[in-house]
Chains A and B, each alone.
Chain A
Amino acid sequence: MSEKRVKLEVLNPRGTIEAKPVSAPNPRITDLAGKRVGLYWNSKPGMDNFYKVFEELLRKRYPTATTTLLRGAFLIRDDDVEAWLKEIDTFVYGVGD
């Protein structure tokens, strides 16, 4: 005796995500001695204190490294990017909440 089965075929409710090209991060700077380290603060409270300690520790390990703190929008503005890129060799971006 055949078993009657109910088949329910439903459509997919998910939005199509157009596949984006992906890129790799940039090659790293192997030594921070003498380098300019950018510290981007997206204005979330507390990151300023985090960076104060980070800078101290960085200078202890790399006495010739310099830092540039930039406080900006949650998402760094285009005009800030253009200006800042000229002043740094590498960067830390925080905090992603």
Chain B
Amino acid sequence: MAGTVKLETMGKPGVFINCTTFDDDAKSASADNGMPTLRRVKISSQDFYKLRGKVETIRPLVEAVFDDIIDALTKPLTPEESNASGGKYEEESTAGVTVTAESYPAAAEEFNSVFLNNRWGDGLPLIPPTEERVKWMLSGTKRKPDEVLGRINPKQGVATIEKIAINAVMAGAKPEYLPVIIAAMEALADEDFDDLHVLASAGSFNLLTVISGPIAREIGMESGIGFMGHGWRANNTIGRAIRLSTLNIGHTWPGKNDMALTGRVSPHTFFTFCEAEDFSAWEPYHASRGFKADDSCVTVGSIHGESQLNHFYGGMIGTWTAEGILDRMVEDLVRTDRRGYFMWGTKGIGKYLGSGGGAMNHMIILFPELVEELKKIGFDQKGLQDEIYKRTSIPYDDLNPAERKSLQTAIELGVIPTDRKAVFEAALKPGGKVPVLISPDNLHFFVAGGAPGCAFSFNYYRIPPYNRTALMTKRITGATLTKAGAV
């Protein structure tokens, strides 16, 4: 939609085609982009997706809407359409809500009805964010309530500390969790982070949130058996607060502008957990990314949707060795990432070169026993990155002509960044070995789980469709109720 508005504001009249399922989304997006009366023609979702494969099958659909498209291009604007200019577009009241009832339980039920009917909740009962409870929540941070972190898509709602605290109360979080939630929202609101794709795409993308550093233990997060599951107030309410904050600050709703077709797995809390630092033989993740080891950080990353994770086993499923699991990881990476080679030679699907399904980031969760064994055979995080990068490289002689051409084009277009160009130029010759990853840094290791544990991974585009990155680490600051994260 933004592209259509861009072209219109540059003086060209046009029309936007959308499918019926996306009509509310399109209407909402045209308003979000400042052109509520932009002309649109809708085509039947049921027909388009079924018939689009061939020209002969889609013909009746195009014939059915052809006149509508021509009219949209040529019929003069109505006074109503023209009068949009110069006005201001506002959507929702920002006032608080008051409910009264004969008892507290009845009032709480009435509050939940109002919020859930307004689409201000996630479908589960909420804790009422009274001024008193929000003040209590804000006692967890020394940051000012009116501090602005940024904006959240799709409606670019302003993310303030206070709004996050309100949603944290609703989620059932405690004040000592607030600095963690704020750091996660800082990442999502960062001007370089693509929150639009993960929050609104039809692909049902999900969010991985990993807390590392001493704060995790201080606030009682769980990193052992069941670490990605239910039962842990800190893990679950931090995730829920992020979910509610994005829903309310960004103004999303399923089917309206959050078009995740199947909905997400673990939709109320996303995947939120912490590293098992007490049992890990490695330094924490954030230390491998340039932060100080005794910092506390939150890493937020978009991950793929319905095909959630790639499993490398370990633990109780069978006897395992570190080498065996490493072999499985390598095999999986080669299989999935080589499929993306054909996209490397295109500009990509987004604003930045190489965006979309070309090269990936991999977020790999390793259980503590495995990390201990990896360390025994000489691997720290950096060493393992380099080893996997090397082992997943494919002999040039095994590539087919289309793959070779695509990778060559990727160098010419600048999809392969300047600092990696020499590596790929050297590889794209007989006898060379061509990486399936742009850089070893695209492998991110997190240590979590109990004994027995499992190794598995998520992945996502190295460069997302609508911004520079979808993986970011932020340091936790301003905590008042924990030693960690205070400064």
Check A-B contact in the complex, CB < 8 A: yes
Residues of B within 8 A of A31 (CB): 74
Q: Is B103 an interface residue (CB 8 A)?
A: yes
CA distance A94 to B202 in the complex (A): 16
Question: In the complex the two chains form, is B18's CB within 8 Å of A15's CB?
Answer: no
Not counting A13-B244, A73-B350, A95-B43, a sample of 18 additional A-B residue pairs whose C-beta atoms are within 8 angstroms of each other reads A8-B98, A12-B166, A15-B151, A15-B163, A19-B90, A22-B86, A24-B37, A24-B82, A24-B83, A32-B70, A38-B14, A49-B55, A54-B62, A57-B66, A73-B465, A91-B12, A96-B18, A97-B259
CA distance A25 to B52 in the complex (A): 29
Would you give the shortest CB distance from A55 to chain B, in whole angstroms? 10
Give B61's nearest chain A residue, CB to CB. A50
Q: Is B400 an interface residue (CB 8 A)?
A: no
Which of the four size classes fits the interface of chain B? 35 or more
CA distance A22 to B7 in the complex (A): 15
CA distance A65 to B405 in the complex (A): 36
B interface residue numbers (CB < 8 A to A): 1-4, 6-19, 21-22, 25-26, 29, 31, 34-40, 43, 48-49, 51-55, 58-59, 61-63, 66, 69-70, 73-77, 81-104, 106-108, 110-111, 115, 120, 128-131, 134, 151-152, 155-159, 162-163, 166-167, 170, 202, 244, 248-251, 259, 347-351, 355, 465-466
Question: In the complex the two chains form, is B34's CB within 8 Å of A29's CB?
Answer: no
Q: Interface residues of B: mostly helix, strand, loop or mixed?
A: mixed
Question: In the complex the two chains form, is A49's CB within 8 Å of B36's CB?
Answer: no
> Given A6-B104, A8-B100, is A29 in contact with B13 using a C-beta cutoff of 8 Å?
yes
Question: In the complex the two chains form, is A17's CB within 8 Å of B251's CB?
Answer: yes
Question: In the complex the two chains form, is B88's CB within 8 Å of A19's CB?
Answer: yes
Of the residues B89, B107, B152, contact of A20 by C-beta under 8 Å? B89
> Given A7-B107, A76-B3, is A53 in contact with B8 using a C-beta cutoff of 8 Å?
no
Residues of B within 8 A of A10 (CB): 96-99, 111, 128-130
Give B466's nearest chain A residue, CB to CB. A75
CA distance A54 to B35 in the complex (A): 26
Question: In the complex the two chains form, is B248's CB within 8 Å of A11's CB?
Answer: no
Question: In the complex the two chains form, is B13's CB within 8 Å of A26's CB?
Answer: yes
Residues of B within 8 A of A9 (CB): 96-98, 130-131
Of the residues B70, B93, B131, B248, contact of A13 by C-beta under 8 Å? B248
Would you give the shortest CB distance from A18 to chain B, in whole angstroms? 7
Instruction: Show 21 A/B contacts (Cβ-Cβ < 8 Å), sorted by A.
Output: A3-B102, A6-B100, A8-B111, A9-B131, A11-B134, A14-B94, A15-B251, A17-B156, A17-B158, A22-B31, A23-B34, A28-B76, A76-B6, A76-B7, A88-B12, A90-B12, A90-B13, A91-B14, A93-B17, A96-B40, A97-B21
Of the residues B3, B81, B120, contact of A75 by C-beta under 8 Å? B3
CA distance A65 to B81 in the complex (A): 26
Would you give the shortest CB distance from B482 to chain A, in whole angstroms? 25
Question: In the complex the two chains form, is B58's CB within 8 Å of A50's CB?
Answer: yes
Give B167's nearest chain A residue, CB to CB. A13
Residues of B within 8 A of A14 (CB): 92, 94, 120, 157, 163, 248-249, 251
Residues of B within 8 A of A76 (CB): 3, 6-7
